[in-house]
Amino acid sequence: MEEKKALDSWKEIASYLKRSVSTCHRWEEELGLPIHRLDGTPKAHVFAYADELDQWRSEKLNHAEISEKETGFLRPRKLRWLFISTGAVILVVGFGLLVRLFFPPALPPAPLIMPALAVLPFANATEDKTLEPWKTALPDLIVLDLTQSRYMNVDPALWLYLGLQKLKLLDASTFSLEDLAKVAEIEKVEYVATGSLIRSGEDIVINIQVQNPKTGSSITSLRGDCRSERGIFSQVDSLSRQIKRALNLTPRQISRDFDKDVARISTNSPQAFFLFSQASRLKITERIPLLKKAVELDPKFGRAYMELSSSSLRASRDEDRQLYRQKAIEFSDRVSEKERYRFLANVYMDDPFHKEPDKALKAYEKWWELFADDQAGLHISDIYFRKLEEWDKALTQLEKLSQKARQNPDFMHQLALCYQAKGLYDKAEKAWDDLLRVRPKLNDFYLRERCLLALVQKKYEDAHTYADMLRTPNPDSTAYIYLKGDVYFLQDDFANAEKVNRRLLEKDDPLDQAGGFRELAMLSLAQGKIAEAKERILAGIDIAEKLKDQRSKNTERNLHYQLAYLYRLTGNLPDALKEADAACQGGYERIGFYVLRDLRLRALITLELNRMEEFEKQVEEIRQIVEAEQFPRLMRVYYYLLGLRELKKNDYSGAVSYFWKALDRLSVLSPHEADADHASYFSSLAEAYYQKANLTGALEMYEKTVLPTVSKYYSGDIYAKSFYWMGKIHEKLLYQTKEHPGVLYTDFVKKYRTKAIENYRKFLALWNDADPIFPEVEEAKKALAKLESQD
């Protein structure tokens, strides 16, 4: 083995570079001068290799070496000019440093298509037992180091592990060119790195070969030597930079890339890293003990704390999750920049104990700014869209991404939903079409969304066409049955909706059967058949309760909510409250629309039972939950309940004020998501206006209640009764006009009479066979007969 020229002290290194020791210190810190340490720690004995210094100098300094000139005694005049020149240089340099401080040079842009690399397990060529753990740990360490880069992609260790498992290459010690080609194909990478570890006396020799399996060519062969296992960490820093050169990153990209020492973003303890590396390939329950041992060995191992937090969450160990997540936040500066901002963004967005959406947005924005990552930008728009419900800001963010992410299906999905929320339906249709063009395999998803978009626009023929296209490959698919039933339902074609949804009861999956009873119950509700709806919900609950598994939990909760809703309609408030409590049981890690819907119904029933003290506590609980979530628009639930309280006290002005605060925070989504919120919000405000004798205000709100964007899945009674009330309001306006005839008397009488008849007929078409408990049906029949008998 050819001996490399080694420089064994700072003095020798400085002499070789013809610079001072302090300059070499600075170059190591700022420019990555390739310095090695015996055990990888900052205070260890340093050494360097002359060939590495030569290569570094040619790339980093980019100028010819200038020997220091011997200086003799200077004449006074020359000395004076030296002081002047030195002062000028200091001023220029100082100004330059200030400029760099306040106006740092822009990072070189990331290429549109970045080189992608997979690092395979290494061979233990000399079969040294102490090197055995490094076969996988060393590639993992290289991957961790290269993951920092904003100019290349590296295959995550777990993904590669799963890929090798699929290819049955997990136990391979060497890889043929055919093996490498298979790995590159399954992992979607252009380059593959293989390597070996050799024990040579006291030294450890690392050999790496980077290849392009598609062309069969070897890109480069690399070698690193270290005198201990701790020294491997500093060798990885050097080898990673050489790998970047091999993948054609420019010197400027390499020098400006994110490249903290790998020991800094992981650990400098070989044993701790072995445990971390091994844990990543195990099941969750087996992973946690190893990670705990790793942080015992290195209490500042930030990356291990992140994994412990994630694993504890998946293992439902809430106390451990909070402990380790807090530790991960504390040591978030001990991971790479990309991992740091991604982790903090997720914590501040989703963790109920650390939720701060503003901080999450800042973390995502920093991640996106530094790494130009589509995913980070899409997270930003998703927060504005789904969480904060600020459509304009979401669209602005998506426009920033349009050039880079236009082939990204997640981008087009968000863009389409955002256009829908803004009512820009033509643009939404184009976005869905673009999505299908990019990802033809998303055909089922696309057809469902296009169908729902057609329903929002009352394009029922188009909606049926899209639903039938979904049926073509599988006429008996559950997705088709649900979608086709929805189209008939929203079209008020209850007979065909019933026929389609009954097919769910014939399915083998009990959850499909429970879902079928739920759909049939909502059909009954929309027709005022409350007794029939109850029977169907009870049948669904019976099926869901027998399953007793995680899949059925949400279905069962939803059914209890609907049963509580039905009991309330019939005046059975004690049973309604009991079912509402059942819907609210279990606690929620993530608070969303359906959770607040359940809590809102429970508070509403409590209010109707005149349990005011308990009601106030429930309303306050909702306020605290919403404040903790920090999604301001969800405060609509709180204001809505306060409006109902004022309505009950006959303070109609106070009720209107609170209801408008709720409506100002109302969003516009698809019919399914908007349903249980919107109908009750509009109709309650309409009732308050009606009680204030503001008939035009009431009429406007009832007209909103029956819009297709509001729908009637869980509130078909409100949908139907809105037509009754619109008929009644037009009838009142008709008689008021007759009492005060004016210039346009005849036109207004005709208009109000026509509208009253039209709305009464629509109500009776929906509720003609409703249960006799609703007096509105008979009242509508009498009013309609009277109006139709008039000339």
Q: What is the three-state SS of 164-204?
A: HHHCCCCCCCCCCHHHHHHHHHHHCCCEEEEEEEEEECCEE
Predicted local confidence at residue 354, as pLDDT: 73
Q: Which residue has the higher pLDDT, 373 or 494?
A: 494
The mean per-residue pLDDT over the stretch 643-653 comes to 96
Asked whether residue 93 carries a pLDDT value surpassing 60, the answer given is no
* CA-based nearest residue to 684, from 712, 642, 713: 642
Confidence of residue 565 (pLDDT cuts 50, 70, 90): very high
Rounded Cα–Cα distance for residues 149 and 152 (Å) = 6
Please say if the pLDDT value at position 267 is more than 50. Answer: yes
Q: Six-digit token pair at 593?
A: 């629309």
Is residue 278 pLDDT above 50, yes or no? Answer: yes
Residue 546: pLDDT band by 50, 70, 90 thresholds?
confident
Distances from the Cα of 763 to the Cα of 40, 526, 532, 780, angstroms: 80, 11, 19, 8
Q: How far apart are the C-alpha atoms of 380 and 372, rounded to whole Å?
A: 13
The pLDDT, as a whole number, for residue 691 is 95
Q: What is the reported pLDDT for 3?
A: 47
Residue 154 phi/psi, 5-degree rounding, is: -130, 135
Cβ contact 586:557 at 8 Å: yes
| Beta-carbon contacts of residue 298 (< 8 Å; ≥ 6 apart) | 267, 268, 269, 272, 304
pLDDT at site 668: 62
Quick one: pLDDT band at residue 68, thresholds 50, 70, 90? Answer: very low
pLDDT at site 534: 96
> What angle do the packed helices 530-547 and 550-569 form, to 10 degrees?
160
Query: Can you give the pLDDT at residue 2?
Result: 43
Q: 245-259, 263-277, 311-325 — which one is most confidently predicted on average?
A: 263-277
pLDDT confidence of residue 103 = 47
For residue 400, the one-letter residue type is K
Per-residue pLDDT, 365: 87
Q: For residues 543 and 510, is the Cβ–Cβ distance under 8 A?
A: yes
Residue ranges in 585-651 assigned as alpha helix (H) = 593-608, 612-629, 636-648
Rounded to an integer, the average pLDDT of 195-206 is 90
Which pLDDT tens digit goes with each residue over 592-631?
567 888 899 999 999 999 999 999 999 999 998 888 777 7
Take residue 347 and report the two structure tokens written for it.
Answer: 């914590």
CB atoms within 10 A of CB 86: 10
**Residue 585: what pLDDT?**
81
Q: What is the band of 83 on the pLDDT scale with cuts at 50, 70, 90? A: low
Q: How much is the mean pLDDT over the chain?
A: 84
Statement: residue 118 has pLDDT above 50 = yes
Task: Output 307 or 588, whichever has higher pLDDT.
Answer: 307
pLDDT digits (tens, 9 = 90+) for 329-342: 999 999 998 899 98
Mean pLDDT of 431-438: 84
Asked whether the predicted pLDDT for residue 530 surpasses 80, the reply is: yes
Q: Give percent of the chain above pLDDT 70.
A: 87
CB-based contact 197:206 (threshold 8 Å) = yes
What pLDDT sits at residue 647?
Answer: 96
| CA distances (Å), origin 413, targets 406, 441, 673, 697, 710 | 11, 14, 16, 37, 21
Q: Are strands 116-119 and 153-154 parallel, antiparallel or unpaired?
A: parallel
* Helix/strand/coil for 127: coil
Tell me the per-residue pLDDT of 375-415, one tens digit each, with 9 for 90 and over: 888 888 888 877 777 888 888 888 888 777 777 888 888 88
Q: Please state the rounded mean pLDDT for residues 38-63.
A: 64
Cα 748 vs. chain centroid, distance in angstroms? 53
pLDDT for the residue 782? 95
Give the three-state DSSP class for 245: helix
- 505: nearest Cα among 470, 532, 478: 478
Cα torsion through 524, 525, 527, 532, rounded to 10? 40
Residue 456: name the closest of 490, 433, 418, 417 by CA: 490
Greater model confidence, 89 or 135: 135
pLDDT of 567 strictly over 70: yes
Which of 352-356, 496-500, 633-637, 733-737 comes out lowest in average pLDDT? 352-356
pLDDT tens, residue by residue, 124-169? 999 889 999 999 999 999 999 999 998 999 988 888 888 888 989 9
pLDDT band at 179 (very low <50, low <70, confident <90, very high): very high
Query: What's the rounded mean pLDDT across residues 757-761?
Result: 96
Report CA-CA distances (Å) from 311 to 284, 319, 454, 558.
6, 12, 42, 29
Mean pLDDT, rounded, for 276-283? 90
- Report pLDDT digits (tens) over 294-332: 999 999 999 999 999 989 888 878 788 889 999 999 999
In sequence order, what are the beta bridge partners of 209? 194, 221
Rounded to the nearest 5°, which phi and psi values hold at 128?
A: -75, 125
Mean pLDDT computed over 458-483: 86
- For the entire predicted model, the pTM comes to 0.69
Given this model, what pLDDT does residue 44 score?
57
> Closest by alpha carbon to 1, among 238, 239, 200, 210?
200
**Of 611 and 434, more confident:** 611
Q: Would you say residue 63 has pLDDT above 80?
A: no
Residue 770 is classified by DSSP as: -
Using a pLDDT cut of 90, give the percent of the chain over it: 45
Report the half-sphere exposure of 640 (CA within 13 A, side-chain side): 28
Average pLDDT, integer, range 511-538: 95
pLDDT given at position 29: 63
pLDDT of residue 45: 67
Res 240 pLDDT > 90? yes
Nearest to 588 by CA among 613, 620, 621: 621
User: For the chain, how many residues are written?
Assistant: 791
Read off the pLDDT of residues 5-46 as tens digits, 9 standing for 90 and up: 678 788 888 888 888 888 887 777 667 677 776 544 445 567
pLDDT at 670 (0 to 100): 44
Q: How many CA atoms lie within 13 A of 106 on its CB side?
A: 5
Distance of alpha carbon 637 from alpha carbon 599, whole angstroms = 9
Q: Look at the alpha carbons of 275, 278, 280, 284 in this order and tell me if their dihedral is positive or negative.
A: negative
Q: Indicate the SS3 state at residue 7.
A: strand
Q: What is the mean pLDDT of residues 659-667?
A: 88
